Amino acid sequence: MSYYLVLLFRLFLACILGGLIGFEREHTNRPAGFRTHILVCVGSSLVMITSEFIFNEYSSIVNLDPARLGAQVISGIGFLGAGTIIRDGFNVRGLTTAASLWAVSAVGIAVGIGFYEGAVFATVIIYLTLILLKKMELSFAKKKRHKIIYIQADNIPGRLAAITSMLDKLSVIVRKIDFVNDEEDESVKIKLLVRLPSKLACDVVSKLTEIEGVHKVYEE
């Protein structure tokens, strides 16, 4: 295989593997999605290809470490990961996406240096971790009387406060709050992970529906 075909193959494989992981993040409405993961993976791959090129060209003249540039990618990717981590009240969101960006940069480095087997195996493991383990977490949460509730309500000040106040009266503990609506939506869609009390005297969904400005409430 010629040098240019190898170069194209490595960059294209990095695009596919990074896009696979990014598609899962995009599908779950995460801040860093499809294109971001592709760019990180392809960029990391190019860094290692460049390192290999520099080593082959100049190793006979000076002493070079071909892994030096790749090491800078691993440490430097932190600025992107930090941008995906959001503090929302008592909740912290984006840690998994930050970790996936760091992992996909390592995949790109592996592809760039020609370690295809490791890159493919790692991508499969990362993808299954994001898909299957998330389902296991949700299943475990349900066994502990956790529920996921979606609320469609008017996007006006005080609406979230009224919802949390109602849940507090019902002795329902809110574990996590996410806003999953699109920017174009006039109303707001709220995703709540809640823990129900051992004895709930009333239906949470029906009580939340009674709040003014709440249009739709349903469980996952």
Do 18 and 125 belong together in one domain? yes
Say if residue 215's pLDDT is above 90. Answer: no
In this structure, are 128 and 181 located in the same domain? no
Question: Considering 139, 164, 187, which residue would you say is the last residue of a domain?
Answer: 139
Pair 113, 149 in one domain: no
What's the CATH code of the domain at 193?
Answer: 3.30.70.260
Number of domains in the chain: 2
Please say if the pLDDT value at position 36 is more than 90: no
Same domain, 10 and 87: yes
What are 144-180's pLDDT values in tens digits? Answer: 567 788 888 888 878 888 888 888 888 888 878 888 7
> Based on the domain organization, do 38 and 124 belong to the same domain?
yes
Residue 42's closest CA among 122, 111, 98, 101? Answer: 111
Residue 134, domain extent: 3-139
SS (H, E, C) 95-118: HHHHHHHHHHHHHHHHHHHCCHHH
Q: What is the pLDDT of residues 92-151, one digit of tens each?
A: 677 788 888 888 999 999 999 889 999 999 999 988 888 887 767 666 555 556 778 888
Q: Are residues 148 and 120 in the same domain?
A: no
Q: What is the DSSP string of 149-207?
A: EEEEEE--TTHHHHHHHHHHHTTPEEEEEEE---TT-SEEEEEEEEE--SS--S-HHHH
- Return the pLDDT at 201: 46
If you search the block for the tokens 């709930």, which residue do you land on? 200
